[in-house]
Chain A
Amino acid sequence: MRAWRRDDRGLATLETILMLVILVPLLFAILEFGWLTQRWLAQDGVALQAARYAGELGGDRPELRSYIQEQLLLVGIDPGRVVVEIEPSNIAWREPVRVSLRTDEQVAIPFLFTTSVAVRSTAVARGEVNQ
């Protein structure tokens, strides 16, 4: 037993590994959370502007779809990964229009898990054209 206790070769390595297993997930949790929050706020901004534009156009129009794609690219989001819903597709003056954006983002925490998180943004504006 005494011989075993005196033999501390590799102990520092073992302790370092133990610390890394704890600290690395903590670090990645903070990084991933910040990244997800940034994505959410950026996508939210696009949804808000798109809802206003939908109100000006009178609903779901090709110009609106193009605008959303451009804005998503500007904030660093791949438009191909975003599901866009505009309801209703046609609105009259003073009627509400809802623009929803959804992206499935991967979150990976080393040693713990990898999962997909749905980032959703919704904005409601009002029809501004008398069709």
Chain B
Amino acid sequence: MRQDEAGTAALTTIVMLPLLLVVLVGVLEMGALRAVAHRAGAAADLATIVAVGDQDQLELALSGKLRLAADAADIARDYFARNLSATVPALGASADAIAASADIASFPTAPSLDPRTGARYDRPTIRLIASIPIRTPGFAALLMPAVTTVTVRSVSSPR
């Protein structure tokens, strides 16, 4: 009886090894995907914060009211690309291309209504929504898409 069981553990290991490797690759790739998505979200946050940090100086001097600079959306796009560039090796497109395709809207005066999200803003606001293609070679090895797209959103207003 014992002789019949010889090598059972080794055989089980050999059979289970592909399954374990699949789970390992999936877990690692999912973790990497979430980390890169988090980084892209942080890049979007910093971009919108930088953009709302600059006010229309003339309006501020004349009326004392906060009003976003005329180029606020361009600034947000520029700094989004700059901050994404640190993550480029993990991205499925260039930082400039991702930033160029991002939906960035400026609402320089308040109150205002965002036609895309339906949100109402009580202060001048920059809103950024971007699709981030992230390379997922681990998923590709498991016959899943080699690039996974995540969407990041960021909204900032000056205080």
A-side interface residues toward B, CB under 8 Å? Answer: 5-6, 8, 11-12, 15-16, 18-19, 22-23, 26, 29-30, 33-34, 37, 40-41, 44-45, 48, 51-52, 55, 94, 96, 120-126, 128
Contact for B42 among A12, A34, A48, A96, CB less than 8 A = A48
- Contact partner, A124, options B10, B28, B45, B83, Cβ 8 Å: B83
- Which residue on B lies nearest to A126, using beta carbons? B50
Known: A121-B86, A124-B82. A34 touches B31 (CB 8 A): yes
CB distance from A49 to the nearest CB of B (A): 9
Are A26 and B24 in touch, CB under 8 angstroms? yes
Q: Which size class do B's interface residues fall under?
A: 20 to 34
Q: For B10, B17, B42, B46, which residue has the most chain A Cβ atoms within 10 angstroms?
A: B46
| A34 CB contacts on chain B under 8 angstroms | 31
CB distance from B116 to the nearest CB of A (A): 26
Inside 8 A of B152's CB, which chain A residues have their CB? Answer: none
Q: Besides the contacts A12-B9, A26-B24, A128-B53, what 7 more A-B pairs have beta carbons closer than 8 Å?
A: A18-B13, A22-B13, A23-B20, A26-B20, A37-B31, A120-B86, A123-B83
- List which B14-71 residues lie within 8 A (CB) of chain A: 17, 20-21, 24, 27-28, 31-32, 35, 38-39, 42, 45-46, 49-50, 53-54
